[in-house]
Structure formats: C-alpha cells, structure tokens
Amino acid sequence: MTIVGTSRGAELALLLANHFPAVSNLVLVAPTAYIYPGEEYRPVWTLHGKDLPTIHFTWRMKLKERFGQSNLLREMFDYEFSINRQVPEARIDTSTFKGNLLLFAGKEDTFWTSAQMGTLLADNAIRAKSVALHVFEDAGHLFSNE
C-alpha cells in the first residue's frame, strides 16, 4: 500500500506506517518528525481509543500567540522542536519502516521546519528499502511562498 501525505497528512501517513505493516511506500510533502497537537493544544491522533503523545507547547509560546507577538507559526514550531528533542514519545519513529520513503520539503517553509525534520526522518529510516529526500531551496510549506 502506498500513502501520500502532505503536512498534517504526512504526519498521519507516518503514524499509519508505524502501526500497519501493509504500508510499503510513503510519499511525504512538508513532513514533520514529531506529533503536534491540534486546536487548543489537544492531541489530534488516537490509537485504540487512546491519545497518541504530542509535543506540548510551552506557556511562553502560548502567551506569544495569544498576544500577537509572533506572526509566524514556524517560530513556535522551531522553539518547541528545539526544547522537545528530549521527548521521545512525541517523535515519529521511522527506524522500523521497511518500505520506500520519498520526502519533499521546502527550505523556505514558514509553517514548520520540514527540511530539517525531513532530514531527521530520512536519517532514522535505517531499515527502509530506499530513502530519498528532496529539499527545494526556494519552496515554502506546500511549495508556495509560505
């Protein structure tokens, strides 16, 4: 089975591949290496009725967002990414994926650091049949100017 996912859909595609061995090919655009929360900072994904662990946004970033001091989501994701590296349960593991992994990311992604996280995913995919990461210098989150 091949799954193609973009942004939050890439997050879901990775989670499906981790839990369902029928997934043999992944094509991910603007991927993330962590499970991020949804609205009101609540978990988005569940498995067998239980919430999957997510990155927890710190109170500093919540305050900045509420008071409009940050106009780019990427600043919030960058900050959380840097302080949450030690949160292994929120990291999406690709080390057991045995299929083909194709990743596309934009270096100018203003939503989250998809190029950096794509590198983490690719480097961790040690059992994959093949891994290809394509980072486009002038591309944004969905290959637009964002």
Contact criterion met (CB below 8 Å) for 90 and 34: yes
Q: pLDDT truncated to tens, each residue of the chain (146 aa)?
A: 999 999 999 999 999 999 999 999 999 999 999 898 887 778 899 999 999 988 877 655 666 666 665 545 667 667 766 765 556 788 899 999 999 999 999 998 888 889 999 999 999 999 999 999 999 999 988 876 55
Per-residue model confidence (pLDDT) at position 88: 74
pTM, 2 dp? 0.84
